[in-house]
Each structure stands twice: as C-alpha cells, then as structure tokens.
Amino acid sequence: MDFFNFHTHYFTNQPDVLELVNQYPDKFDDSVPFYSIGIHPWYIEKSRLDSDLKIIEEKLSRENCLAIGECGLDKRIEVPLELQITVFEKQLALAEKFKKPVVIHCVAAFQEITAVKKKMKISVPMIIHGFSKNKQLAEQLIKEGFYLSFGKYLIKNPDLKSVFQDIPNDRFFLETDTMEEKISEVYDKALEYKNINMKELQSIISSNYQTVFKK
C-alpha cells in the first residue's frame, strides 16, 4: 500500500490505498475489503443493543475486520453519558477478547475515556480519530498510551500545525473520515508539517500500521 486511510466512511476502492472503512452493525456491507465495526454513541438504540453487539462479535472474528469502532463518548448529544459508557465498555471488552485495536470517537470526554481505559486495564491499542485539540491534551493522551489520528482539521485548521509537529512519529495515523478530499492530500499536509518526504512518511505510517494491526 502507498497510503493507509485510518478512518473513512466511504469505500473508494483505490488500488494504492488501504482504507479502514467504518461500518455499523445494522448497515453492514459485505463487499468492503477492510473495515472497523462498532456502535457510535450517536446511534445507540437500547432495543437493538444486544443484536448489534452480537453482530459486532461475529464480524470481529473475521480476518478483514481490522478494528472495533468507531465507538466512544460524546458529551454534546442527548444520549445519557451513563448509557454511552456502558455501551463503550461492552465494546472494549470485545476488543480485548479478539485483540483488536479501537477507533475512538471522543467529544468533550477525554477524561472519561482515559478513566475507562485505566479501569478496564485495556491492553489493545486505542486510537483517537479526528484529533483537533491542543498540544497539552495531545501530550497527555500519548502519555496515557493513546494514538492520535489526524484528518480534516489538519488540512483546515493551521493551529494544528505545531500540535502535529510535536506528535511522536510512532503515535499517529492519517484519515479522511467524512470529507471528500483524498487521503493523499492529508499526507501532503502531514509531510509539509513534519518536514519530511513522502517516502519517509509512508514508512512511518506503514510501521505504525504493522505495530497496531499486527500485520
């Protein structure tokens, strides 16, 4: 692979890109080659919870299911935080059982995510997707063992430049999430900020991919 897209909602089937496509248990598409699957906090349905978790467990046993997620916590939605934490913990338990990394959605709940990680003694890699916060929080999360994935905010928010420059090379991924720009555009911005060439960046991402996904 020339490019690894850590998190996307669109399968584009480009021959030089390995895409980790986000899937939901109730809308699963079997034609996607590599995917993550999870219950997003926005879409928690109590009535469907058991069946969703059962589907996730079945998919996690497959070779082309690379991760669980996106899942996590979001303090800016109406779903009660207590319920979100319960659903998140159930998915983390599955991640541990199947030894799969976790794609994390986190809005205004970094403290709670970190507390759950510690409480459950999570050993699998946990990656915060779409990171857009400050240097202090980035350092704190890395110290707690998280990886950070950067996408649209890296392209659209110049304030992230200094944050990204200080991220250790063995702790980041790049993604497109829901934006229309190609992953190569995110790579271009990343290599500009890191002051390295494309070959070096591809080598860094490839190494991180092998570490996290055991490939």
Residues at the binding site for a divalent metal cation are 70, 105, 129, 177
- Which residues, at least 6 apart from 63, have a Cβ–Cβ distance to it below 8 Å? none
Helix 110-120 × helix 81-98 angle, to 10°: 40
Side-chain half-sphere CA neighbours of 185 within 13 A? 12
To which residue do tokens 């998280």 refer?
146
Question: Phi and psi at residue 108, in whole multiples of 5°?
Answer: 60, 30
Q: Which distant-in-sequence residues (6+ apart) come within 8 Å of 105 by Cβ?
A: 40, 41, 69, 70, 71, 72, 73, 74, 129, 130
Question: Annotated binding residues, as ranges?
Answer: 70, 105, 129, 177
Structure tokens at 62: 């497959």
Asked if the bond preceding 70 is cis, omega within 30° of 0, the reply is yes
Strand partners, 4: 18
Among candidate residues 10, 59, 68, 13, the one with its CA nearest the CA of residue 36: 68
One-letter amino acid at 150 equals: F
The Cα–Cα gap between 114 and 128 comes to 11
